[in-house]
Amino acid sequence: MADMEMLTGRSYATRLMLWLALYAVLLFGSLGLIDRKLVGPLPLRVALGLSPMIAAFGILFLVMGRYRSADELQQRIMAESLMFAFGATAIITFSYGFLQRTAGAPELSYFWVWPVMGSAWFVGAVIARRRFE
């Protein structure tokens, strides 16, 4: 089982790397085409601009598959860490929204939401894992 576990982990990492590579190709490919004005019509620019999300969906289903194949304790740790990330992201983004209204905090890109949530997920995983060690 230890070997199987490692293989599963390795195969997950390999698939994640492949999806991330596809994400990078689609991201830089689409941005390159749009920046060089090689693509004109708006619908095509929309489609190209969203194309990296194909890989993002791949990663989403990969992570969901990993959750489903995990054992009950691992599922619990994942669920608790995601719950922490969910709440922390809500608190942080709402706090910033209020600061924009009340204290003139500058406009920020929506791209910041994921780094906030990802970081909170990591912190949540550390906290949840420690509970069962």
Partner 1 sequence: MRNGLRVLRAERRWSQADLAGQLGVSRQTVNALETEKYDPSLPLAYKIARLFGRPIEEIFFDDEGAPGSATPVRAAAAGP
Binding site for partner 1 (CB under 8 A): 1-2, 4-5, 70-74, 76, 131-133
| Minimum CB–partner distance for residue 75 and partner 1 (Å) | 10
**Cα distance between residue 7 and residue 11, in whole Å:** 6
If the CB atoms of residues 52 and 124 are measured against partner 1, the closer one turns out to be 124
| Minimum CB–partner distance for residue 10 and partner 1 (Å) | 14
**Cα distance between residue 114 and residue 52, in whole Å:** 15
If the CB atoms of residues 55 and 128 are measured against partner 1, the closer one turns out to be 128
| Minimum CB–partner distance for residue 110 and partner 1 (Å) | 36
If the CB atoms of residues 75 and 93 are measured against partner 1, the closer one turns out to be 75
Burial class from Cβ neighbours inside 10 Å (0-12, 13-18, 19+) for residue 43 reads: exposed
Burial class from Cβ neighbours inside 10 Å (0-12, 13-18, 19+) for residue 58 reads: middle
If the CB atoms of residues 107 and 133 are measured against partner 1, the closer one turns out to be 133
| Minimum CB–partner distance for residue 61 and partner 1 (Å) | 22
For 60, residues 6+ apart whose C-beta sits below 8 A from its C-beta are: none
> In the numeric block, which tokens belong to residue 90?
């809500």
